[in-house]
Chains A and B, each alone.
Chain A
Amino acid sequence: MQRLIDRAKELLADGTVVRVLGWKKGDLGFNPEPAYFETAEALDSDFIYDGFCGANLSKYMIEASKKDGKTLVFLKPCDTYSFNQLIKEHRVDREKAYIIGVGCKGKLDIEKIKAMGVKGILSVEGASMDSECETLTVKTLYGDKEVSYNEAMLERCHVCKGKEHQIADEVMLESRDTKDAERFAEVEKIEAMSPLEKFEFFKKELSKCIRCNACRNVCPACSCRKCVFDSTKFDEATKANVDSFEEKMFHIIRAFHVAGRCTDCGECSRVCPQGIPLHLFNRKFIKDIDTFYGEFQAGEDTETKGPLTNFTFDDVEPSIVTERG
């Protein structure tokens, strides 16, 4: 981590960048948050990069692109897909970003540790990038507890897209591929349900939604200047305020809006305070797109047209899609 701070200070000092977009320590030992740093002092006192820095900083670059001067941004391998996708959509300015691809050994989910029955957490040791990232020592009011790093990882890290950065000016720190599960296993489970079971499943999950909009606000694909749900120009806004609309429609409309553009970064599920597995919607779309149009990973590059916004003579015919179900 110190290497990152030193490098950031260098780039600030030589004028390459005028600010740094990274993570700063939270009020607890496991809740760092995205932050801008403009001075060496700020970096020294507040900057952090450890296993809890799950936040994808790509989307912050939309605003940073409007500011004067370059911004140094730290992107983990999976974050770079989002950044590429944002370049493709002309939402970020590549020239305004100096990208340090930071290594990642899998990011942690404090909720998973809590779910293991660990209570009164004070801090977590072993999440530093310098450590082996095999075992975590959780300091609690009731003494220390050992927890497997792997078991405390975010769901998305179990289906890791790999340790390669898709875009970066330089890469620092080692990464490891933490994939140990099938990406579409959960989706397939839901697909196997009867329509009624599916409906019940989603009703149960989505009825937890409190419409805090955290999923939308964190999502790099949800980058509209004005969301249709915030606009008076559309009836969605009014409709969202009546009945149980949100549980039925808000998330489904959102999934449609990001279909073909979602990189499956998993931020929606990470930030959901209610623990709704929101990524499942997006992943179902990704699975279908892969089936119909061949495998496609949004954000792999900045040029390719997504299959839903492209037409080729090899495209599957709608009639065949219907036959396939």
Chain B
Amino acid sequence: MQRIGVFVCHCGSNIAATVDVKKVVEIISQEPGVAHCEDYQYMCSEAGQAKILEAVKEKNLSGIVVCSCSPRMHEGTFRKAAERAGLNPYMVEIANIREHCSWIHKDMEEATEKAVILARAAIAKVNLNAPLYPGESRVTKRALVIGGGIAGIQTALDIADAGYEVDIVEKTPSIGGRMSQLDKTFPTLDCSACILTPKMVEAAAHEKITIYTYSEVDKVTGFVGDFTVDIRKKARSIDMDKCTGCGVCQEKCPSKKTPSEFNRGLNTRSAIYTPFAQAIPNVPVIDREACIKFKTGKCGLCEKVCQAGAINYEQTDEIVTEKYGAIVVATGFDTIKLDNYDEYAYNQSPDVITSLELERVMNAAGPTKGHLERLSDGKHPEHIVFVQCVGSRCNDNRGKSYCSKICCMYTAKHAMLIRDKYPDVKVTVFYIDVRTPGKNFDEFYRRAVEEYGVNYIKGQVGKVAPQSDGSLLVQASDLLDNKQIKLKADMVVLATAIEPDPSVRRIATMLTASIDTNNFLTESHAKLRPVESPTAGIFLSGVCQGPKDIPETVAQAGAAAVKAIGLLAKDKLLTNPCTAKSDELLCNGCSVCANVCPYGAISYEVVQVNDHGIREDRRVARVNNALCQGCGACTVACPSGAMDLQGFSNRQIIAEVDAICR
């Protein structure tokens, strides 16, 4: 029997306002096995921890229950306190009477009863606790960055500058990401490419950085400090070592009808292509779906014109397997599909475009060479209407509930740039709210209104109707004047909501990193661990974690890099001792546990066992403690109960349930 000390925390009024802590102490003191019970205002404080130390010494305690906040908060604190008192840190259990009790209940009587029950469950568990000892695991001093946009590039540069090897995996043929598609950037209006390309070049030239473009992560195994990743280098059909990037192949390619991804489908590209002029690497890719040679077997023109002999139609996907200590996800975003928004006539009129498409229209390398013109007839527009919050802050199921955060600012930028370059063009912006928190952001917006005469109307657009004369009729409400208005426009630009790049779901699954309902990767703590995934060793950089603009993305990229560097700087990590363990006498050798193990931690071997005098060779499960993450999937799958989780054994869980149901 354990001698258990129970400590009930008030958490100021967080717990004490809803739970009668004195009554909890009174009841719990009577529980069998409880040798000591007291309450204190802040158990996590120095004084609170001192109480634990004192009680362990005085009452010779063998186990501790702290009734306080979530173990996610202070389990570590109390384990260390127990260790200082001479106990094994794993003899501590937390009864979460804050998040699971006081915060979610109003009635004091009920909450107090529940707090008592939760304490009893923890006591029942401690009764069956046994000391556990962590092992050690090594740290591979190399980081992987998934995504080669500005977030990924910045993270990679920062990690590389700290002296660690970094690999960037980018699924498109070039690094650069969304930022490379932008024309100018707010609030300073500097050219996006001018500030991005030096970073791209720096990353490409950095001796510690390896860039895998046109590549995808295929498989991830292992754990913090020791990941093994298969990277699929998709067949480029070009020998990267031979190609000089002269571009003749692209000029001569007869298949030129594929919509250009880089220009958002506003113009076309050849089947063999580099996405944009400053692409890194400056080596084209053959799009095998569009290539005549791949489709019909005839053509082969690029091979004929290539002086370097770099074309290789036989190239196949190549798998590179590499080990990493840390992985940074920087998969970025895309704009949402507008199929649910028929009222804006996006699919009906080429003159209704998204803001990202406008970036390409405004860009000198874009489909119109930077001339502002209607995509339907090439005419110069007289009136452009911008619609804010298309799919953002949407309460119905058509769009996204969140604010995409960047649209207010880039719309002000677009309006300002258009008014600056074409003062004859009238610009109207429909908005719900204009949100400009950020350094020099509000000043920027006010300049658009005050200096550039952009017409901001508070209200939403109900319908955009293409007219027979080629113009667009915009019906909207003006909320400040409280009236319905109709405007004739030549172009309508939709500030389309952004969403995480769809590839993130697959990557999150491979990394066992959690994502929220909007597919944004979840941070370990919304405020205190904003760039770390709850999965150890996985860090988050850029919009994959939540909407943000370039300065925020770069700042977060740096933060993620620092966290990764902090991990890579360690030589060894202590492993969690709460891992699965198989009882070989009970093991059937059926492999169910190995089938369900997401970490590949279970293998089988034939051993000679002595089962109460019966000696025989049996196929039994073996858990690799370094790989096991203690998820418990195997313990519930094991039909014979041979597999058990140390620190969360089946008996402990049942004892907790029994205590709750008592």
Contacts and interface: CB of A to CB of B under 8 A. Distances in A.
Interface of A: 66, 88-91, 223-228, 231, 233-235, 257-258, 261, 305-306, 308-311, 313
B248 interface: no
B591 interface: yes
B220 to A, nearest CB: 14
B619 A90 contact: yes
- Most A-side CB within 10 Å, residue of B586, B637, B651: B586
Contacts of B585: 225-226
B654 A235 contact: yes
B590 A233 contact: no
B588 A233 contact: no
A91 B587 CA distance: 11
Given A90-B619, A91-B590, A231-B586, A309 B650 contact: no
Nearest to A254: B639
B509 A309 contact: no
Per DSSP, chain B at the interface is mixed
Contacts of B424: none
B506 interface: yes
Contacts of A226: 585-586, 640
28 contacts: A88-B591, A89-B589, A89-B592, A90-B588, A90-B590, A90-B619, A91-B590, A224-B640, A225-B585, A225-B586, A225-B587, A225-B640, A226-B586, A226-B640, A231-B586, A233-B651, A234-B650, A234-B654, A235-B651, A235-B654, A235-B655, A257-B639, A305-B595, A309-B595, A309-B596, A309-B637, A310-B595, A311-B598
- Most A-side CB within 10 Å, residue of B596, B616, B641, B654: B641
Interface in B577-632: 583, 585-592, 595-596, 598, 604, 611, 616, 619
A261 to B, nearest CB: 8
A223 B588 contact: yes
A89 B588 contact: yes
Contacts of B595: 305-306, 309-310
B641 A234 contact: yes
B588 A228 contact: no
B591 A234 contact: no
A125 B560 CA distance: 81
A89 B616 contact: no
Given A90-B590, A310-B595, A66 B616 contact: yes
Per DSSP, chain A at the interface is loop
A90 B591 CA distance: 8
Contacts of B604: 90
A313 B586 contact: no
A313 B591 CA distance: 22
A89 B604 CA distance: 12
Contacts of B587: 225
Interface residues of B, number: 27
B589 A224 contact: no
Contacts of B592: 89, 309
The 8 nearest A-B residue pairs measured at CB: A89-B590, A224-B640, A309-B595, A257-B639, A228-B641, A90-B589, A309-B596, A305-B595
Contacts of B640: 224-228
A306 B637 CA distance: 12
A6 to B, nearest CB: 35
Nearest to A90: B589
Contacts of A231: 586, 641
Contacts of A224: 586, 588, 639-640
B351 to A, nearest CB: 39
Contacts of B637: 308-309
A313 B506 contact: yes
Contacts of B651: 233-235
A233 B591 contact: no
Contacts of A227: 640
A254 to B, nearest CB: 10
A233 B616 contact: no
Nearest to A235: B654
B471 to A, nearest CB: 45
Nearest to B583: A233
Contact of B641 (A90, A91, A233, A310): A233
A325 to B, nearest CB: 21
A228 B641 CA distance: 7
Contacts of A306: 595
B580 to A, nearest CB: 15
B268 to A, nearest CB: 32
B509 A91 contact: no
A71 B383 CA distance: 88
A207 B374 CA distance: 79
B616 to A, nearest CB: 7
Contacts of A88: 591
B384 to A, nearest CB: 42
A92 to B, nearest CB: 11
Contacts of A91: 588-590
A225 B588 contact: yes
A253 B289 CA distance: 53
A225 B587 CA distance: 7
B653 to A, nearest CB: 11
Contacts of B611: 225
Interface in B622-662: 637, 639-641, 650-651, 654-655, 658
Nearest to A234: B641
A214 to B, nearest CB: 19
Contact of B509 (A90, A257, A308, A313): A313
A214 B223 CA distance: 45
Contacts of B654: 234-235
A90 B595 CA distance: 13
A257 B636 CA distance: 10
Contacts of B655: 235
Contacts of A305: 595
